[in-house]
Chains A and B, each alone.
Chain A
């Protein structure tokens, strides 16, 4: 039973990893990355590693997507600011 469950979960993880890579929009990609992190946490839990699962939830599903979102926000902001400055110079 655990074998089937484990293999199914691993297949799901592989599929969702592919999904993360194939998503084009960065914001959507971040959300799918968060989902992928959650699946990993589930896997750790299934393999009887609750400590790692907790760390995976906090980091993989919260902290990492948060960092990516922050970076995206900052990049957008930076682009807008430099674009405006360039316009004014012209």
Chain B
């Protein structure tokens, strides 16, 4: 199909969809008219039932924790898919080893990096790690939680990469334990659910003592699941970064020798 025809086809479709959507949206409640009985009920119940001051995390990890289990595994299978598509040539059957040799390209422009950037990024590496851990463990108290904390944790090694501390960066992202933690974090979530089953309760029932509201060790499984998600997300994102940079890093290492 020619580009013009495609655009024409799409234009007709887009106008139609816009029409249907607008027709539907005009029947929606007016701007600012909150009609969410669920939200009101949860806001009333969560602190009392689950000792969690951040009700959003009470919903994501407890009331609707089963959805989050699915989402956790969406990330897991996405990471597995990325690793699958980016697997190195030698792992692929029926394929000759990729031609190597020649001058390996410098994968970064080495010249322009100010000392300020180097010092600053190294300094906030530690801060970023701390903040990630804090966020993953305090999800039940304040906005945040395992997912956001995990992404922050995974972003920390990238600071080393920016600071050109390639060796340390490579040692972290290529560690075999990263892959183990990715799977273990994901399995941990489901195993917490199974633990409730073995006690005769429904899957993902909050069976851990709830503790005191406002405490770090409160709200039972919410905190535990949040920690598992943090581990899985941090390891998953690190793994993706490694998958993308694997070939480039090994080339850079050879170049350095």
Contact = CB atoms under 8 A, between A and B. Distances in A.
A–B touch (CB < 8 A): the answer is: yes
Nearest to B246: A74
A70 B244 contact: yes
Interface residues of A, number: 26
Contacts of B247: 74, 77
A55 B148 contact: yes
Interface string B214-257: 00000000000000000000000100110011011001000000
A73 B240 CA distance: 14
A70 B135 CA distance: 26
Contact of A73 (B135, B152, B244): B244
Contact of B244 (A55, A71, A81): A71
Interface residues of B, number: 32
A54 B143 contact: yes
Nearest to B104: A81
A13 to B, nearest CB: 16
A70 B152 contact: no
Interface in B77-113: 86, 98-99, 101-103, 105, 107
B32 interface: yes
Interface in A64-83: 66-67, 70-71, 73-74, 77, 80-81
B52 interface: no
A2 B32 contact: yes
A51 B56 contact: yes
B237 A63 contact: yes
15 contacts: A49-B56, A51-B54, A55-B148, A62-B151, A63-B154, A67-B244, A70-B240, A70-B241, A73-B248, A74-B244, A77-B248, A84-B102, A84-B103, A85-B102, A88-B101
